[in-house]
Structure formats: C-alpha cells, structure tokens
Chains A and B, each alone.
Chain A
C-alpha cells in the first residue's frame, strides 16, 4: 500500500535556527497537509496545500512557517527561526479527492 514518508524521523535544533521538514506524499494525491502534535496533546491542523498554493491555514501557521512543493514529489515545511514552543511531532498527510487522510510517521522536532 502506498505510504506518506517523512524525513527525518527526529530533528534536534537550537532555538533561532531554521529547520526544514520533508515529506513525500502519496503520488496520485492532490491535497497535502501539515499537522503538529505537542506531546500528550491533540493533533492540530497547521496548513493545507492544493494546486500549488496554500488553501487554508490555522492561526498557528504564522510568518515563521512556510510550505513548498519544490518538485512533483516533495512537500516541505520550513520553520524560519525556531522557538522552544515549536517542539512537537509534525505530521504530513495527503489525500486524493473524497478520500481519507493518510499520515506519515511524523518528525519529532526538539528545540533546545
């Protein structure tokens, strides 16, 4: 079964540094998403991406965040200047048309 793949699985960075989280969605999917989950809490929507542009974003997704689909396969989330409170698990997801979300295994980001 096709999978959403995310790299790296773990990322440790210092406060103020830029990080890029990478995702390869399922190849024939059209909608791409980033979610985050702070340890022990609920899964929170960050941003959705469709037709090469952001379709919706949450209040969490401020100017420090950006997303890109630089080629036909990758989907990235960039955090420009990380803060301690950005420490979380970041999940990428994709879906086709009217079909369920498929999640990657996540990237655990630790900001020190």
Chain B
C-alpha cells in the first residue's frame, strides 16, 4: 500500500522563525490533507490540497502531485503553532493514510 513519510520528525523553533514541513508519498494520490493536532489532541484541518498552492494567513501549502510530495510552510511562528502536524493521503479507495507526523515546539 501507499507509504506516507514526513520530515523532520521533530522541530524546535524560536518564536518568529519560519519553517517548512515535508510530506512524501510513494504512489499517486487523489488528494492530500494537512492537519494540526493541538496539545489537547484535536485534529484541526489546515489544507485540503491535491495540487498547487493554498494560503491561509501565516500558513501555506504546496502539493506537487507529479513528484509525490507536499510542503507546509509556517511563517512567523507562534507558541500556539506547537503540536503535531500530520499529512494524510487519499488513496483511490475510501482509506486515508496518515504520515507519522512532525512534532513542532515553538519557544517563546
């Protein structure tokens, strides 16, 4: 089945810094979704992005489906950005495969 790999696994930033999180997938996908899991465990939808670039405030995402990767950019990071960032790949069926996540800690 499809493999979804995320990097880096852990990231520590100083508040105000920028970062790029990467998601690679081993096969073609119908769609790609980014989530933020906050310290309370909630999974918050960030982007639903099969290809191209989307922006939402300080966050943006780019998916290059032909090269099987997606990037999540966080600019001017804040302490509230801390948590785990997951990407999830939509396969041809009903299953969505999650990567192992990037654990982000933003220091004040």
Contacts and interface: CB of A to CB of B under 8 A. Distances in A.
B86 A43 contact: yes
Nearest to A56: B94
B95 A45 contact: yes
B42 A44 contact: no
Interface string A37-58: 0000111110010100001101
A56 B99 contact: no
Contacts of B93: 55-56
Interface of A is mostly: strand
A84 interface: no
Contacts of B31: 98
B42 A105 contact: yes
A50 B94 CA distance: 9
Interface residues of B, number: 20
A42 B86 contact: yes
Given A42-B86, A42-B100, A43-B86, A103 B94 contact: no
Contacts of A44: 98
Contacts of A41: 100
Contacts of A35: 98
Nearest to B98: A43
B88 interface: yes
Given A100-B48, A106-B41, 10 more contacts: A31-B94, A42-B101, A43-B86, A55-B93, A58-B95, A89-B41, A91-B43, A101-B33, A101-B45, A101-B88
Top 3 nearest A-B pairs by Cβ distance?
A100-B48, A48-B94, A103-B43
Interface of A: 31, 33, 35, 41-45, 48, 50, 55-56, 58, 89, 91, 98-103, 105-106, 108
